[in-house]
């Protein structure tokens, strides 16, 4: 068997850098030193994919660059050979905070959906998605941030508010119309979440749902509409610390649960990896999907290596506790961390100075790439043990039978260790402040 290592390391030029292939050797002495042991015969969840979000902020930033830069950015994300092979991405239904302003697909008080139009999406967002489709294959998750203002009890898209009961059916029908319209354009929606961050009253596009309201909205209005279009539904779509209790309310209801593929979650309140494990233990047929994470962008403070390490830590922790997919937030932002209609500027793996045309790849791009490029849709997590918590690791088996081991070292120390597969061993070293992907095949 052969082992190939791809590495990204602080204080070096290594960024997804390939090293020479090494051969495994038969262990004749019963080695018991530092090692990671792989058990490919033990399998867990199936991976759906990795990617980021198409937002109006990302697309309008892309629109301000020349054609060569546009093509290069899409290739960096979606090309499976020259890029990092994004395979599952997210977008917004109507406006979100990373839009240029609030907008809807219908005019105010249109209760017949007669004015439905994707005109706003056609200006920038859809062209970015369609151009990406020409570069690589990916599926799309869509999330609403807010219904139209007239459907809510606060009369606006921002500052929370609730969907008025009399408009639940209309809102579900508007979401269905969106699904149909995108499908007609050759942009099929794989799945939706019911509501982005349904517990958060934000100064931007937001809407509050209790777990019970989300449950009833699915089983009485949304579920059958999505089923007839073969679109999956994910619930919650908010921080991990409330994942179990929120999803449990919906999954316990057999009628609602029948429409639901799983639960989505964000990272903004901390690790809470145990929440994933608890939910999967109780509901092993449901998928767990990471739908959003990013860092706020602080001008003048600069960006640190820790941002990429946070991505590596969270992806590994999520996968090891049952997560099937990881979608980052904005794929591209300008040099200010926007544009954004409410000023909550953020970091992105790729950022562009729209005045100069300069493109900057942050280390989060490479850290995500250690998974998205080498762990393909349909891969299964496999059994693994490690000798120490000095490093973090996750192991998977791709559909073609190749094994992938990702090792994260957030310390300032290097570690020599062996990778064991049955009676076969291969020695390697984890460099300080590094992430490495090991590919193992025959």
Find all residues with CB under 8 Å of 202, minimum gap 6, and list them: 97, 158, 159, 160
Task: Determine the Cα angle at 267 with ends 163 and 409, to 5°.
Answer: 170
State the pLDDT confidence band at 302, using cuts at 50, 70 and 90. low
State the pLDDT confidence band at 300, using cuts at 50, 70 and 90. very low
What's the CATH code, domain 49-374? 3.20.20.80
What Rg do the C-alpha atoms of the chain give, in angstroms?
22
Q: How does the average pLDDT of the chain come out, rounded?
A: 97
Q: What is the pLDDT, as a whole number, of residue 304? A: 82
Q: What is the pLDDT, as a whole number, of residue 326? A: 98
State the pLDDT confidence band at 303, using cuts at 50, 70 and 90. low
Nearest to residue 94, comparing CAs of 129, 48, 125?
125
Given a contact cutoff of 8 angstroms between Cβ atoms, the answer to whether 257 and 250 are in contact is yes
| Alpha-carbon distances of 149 from 102, 110, 164, 208, 221, rounded to whole Å | 10, 11, 10, 13, 19
Q: What is the mean pLDDT of residues 351-357?
A: 96
Nearest to residue 208, comparing CAs of 216, 221, 198?
198
- Segment 126-153, tens digit of pLDDT: 999 999 999 999 999 999 999 999 999 9
Cα(320)–Cα(326) distance, integer angstroms: 13
- Sorted by where each begins, the domain ranges of the chain are 2-45+381-441, 49-374
Provide the whole-model pTM.
0.97
Tokens 């490479």 belong to: 366
Given a contact cutoff of 8 angstroms between Cβ atoms, the answer to whether 437 and 6 are in contact is yes
- Segment 242-268, tens digit of pLDDT: 999 999 999 999 999 999 999 999 999
Q: What is the mean pLDDT of residues 78-87?
A: 98
The domain 2-45+381-441 is placed in CATH, from the list 2.60.40.1180, 3.40.190.10, 3.40.50.2000, 3.20.20.80, at 2.60.40.1180
What residues are labeled active site? Answer: 197, 292
Which helix (H) or strand (E) is 381 found in, with range?
strand 380-386
Percent of the chain with pLDDT over 70: 98
DSSP class of residue 118? Answer: -
Give the distance, in angstroms, between the CA of residue 141 and the centroid of all CA atoms in the same chain. Answer: 9
What sections of 22-124 are H helices per DSSP?
A: 56-63, 67-78, 119-123
Q: Is 412 buried (19+), middle (13-18) or exposed (0-12) by CB count in 10 A?
A: exposed
Cα(283)–Cα(249) distance, integer angstroms: 12
Percent of the chain with pLDDT over 90: 98
- Provide the pairing of β-strand 22-23 with 2-9: antiparallel
- Segment 95-121, tens digit of pLDDT: 999 999 999 999 999 999 999 999 999
| Helix axis angle, 363-372 to 306-320, nearest 10° | 20
pLDDT value at 271 more than 90: yes
| 80-105: burial string, b at 16+ Cβ within 10 Å, e else | beebbbbbbbbbbbbbbbbbbebbbb
State the pLDDT confidence band at 301, using cuts at 50, 70 and 90. low
Half-sphere exposure of residue 3: CA atoms within 13 angstroms, side-chain side = 21
Q: 350 in helix, strand or coil?
A: strand
pLDDT value at 297 more than 90: no
Cα(264)–Cα(440) distance, integer angstroms: 31
- Segment 402-419, tens digit of pLDDT: 999 999 999 999 999 999
Q: What is the pLDDT, as a whole number, of residue 296? A: 84
| Helix axis angle, 56-63 to 125-133, nearest 10° | 80
State the pLDDT confidence band at 298, using cuts at 50, 70 and 90. low
> What is the token pair recorded at 46?
């199936």
| Helix axis angle, 273-282 to 243-251, nearest 10° | 20
> What is the token pair recorded at 119?
């005109």
Given a contact cutoff of 8 angstroms between Cβ atoms, the answer to whether 193 and 266 are in contact is no
> What is the token pair recorded at 149?
């203002």
Nearest to residue 142, comparing CAs of 188, 77, 189, 105?
189
State the pLDDT confidence band at 52, using cuts at 50, 70 and 90. very high
Q: What is the mean pLDDT of residues 45-71?
A: 98
Phi and psi dihedrals of 339, rounded to 5? -75, 160
């Amino acid at each position: 068997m052969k082992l190939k290592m791809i590495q990204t390391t602080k204080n070096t030029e290594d960024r997804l850098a390939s090293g020479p292939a090494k051969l495994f050797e038969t262990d004749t002495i019963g080695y018991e030193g530092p090692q990671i042991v792989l058990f490919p015969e033990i399998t867990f969840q199936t991976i759906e994919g990795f990617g980021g979000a198409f937002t109006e902020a990302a697309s309008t930033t892309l629109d301000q660059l020349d054609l060569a830069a546009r093509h290069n950015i899409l290739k960096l994300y979606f090309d499976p050979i020259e890029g990092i092979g994004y395979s599952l991405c997210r977008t917004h239904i109507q406006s979100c905070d990373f839009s240029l302003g609030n907008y809807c697909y219908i005019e105010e008080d249109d209760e017949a959906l007669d004015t439905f139009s994707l005109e706003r999406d056609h200006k920038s967002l859809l062209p970015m998605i369609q151009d990406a489709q020409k570069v690589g294959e990916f599926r799309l998750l869509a999330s609403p941030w807010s219904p139209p203002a007239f459907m809510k009890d606060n009369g606006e898209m921002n500052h929370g508010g609730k969907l008025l009961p009399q408009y639940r059916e209309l809102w579900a029908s508007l979401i269905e119309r969106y699904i149909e319209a995108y499908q007609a354009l050759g942009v099929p929606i794989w799945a939706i979440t019911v509501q982005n961050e349904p517990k958060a009253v934000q100064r931007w596009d937001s809407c509050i749902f209790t777990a019970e309201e989300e449950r009833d909205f699915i089983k009485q209005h949304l579920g059958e509409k999505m089923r007839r279009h073969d679109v999956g539904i994910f619930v919650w779509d908010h921080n991990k610390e409330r994942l179990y209790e929120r999803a449990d309310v919906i999954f316990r209801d057999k009628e609602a649960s029948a429409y639901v593929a799983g639960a989505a979650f964000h990272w903004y309140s901390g690790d809470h990896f145990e929440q994933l494990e608890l939910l999967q233990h109780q509901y092993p047929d449901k998928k767990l999907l990471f739908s959003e994470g990013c860092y706020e962008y602080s001008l003048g403070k600069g960006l640190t290596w820790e941002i990429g390490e946070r991505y590596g830590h969270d992806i590994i922790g999520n996968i090891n506790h049952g997560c099937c997919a990881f979608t980052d937030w904005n794929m591209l932002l300008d040099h200010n961390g926007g544009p954004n209609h409410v000023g909550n500027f953020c970091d992105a793996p790729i950022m562009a100075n729209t005045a100069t045309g300069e493109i900057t790849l942050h280390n989060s791009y490479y850290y995500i790439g250690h998974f998205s490029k080498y762990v393909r849709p349909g891969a299964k997590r496999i059994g693994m043990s490690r000798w120490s918590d000095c490093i973090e690791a996750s192991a998977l088996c791709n559909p073609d039978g190749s094994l992938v081991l990702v090792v994260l070292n957030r310390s300032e120390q290097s570690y020599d260790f062996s990778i064991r597969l049955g009676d076969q061993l291969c020695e390697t070293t984890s460099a300080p402040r590094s992430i490495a992907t090991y590919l193992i095949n025959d």
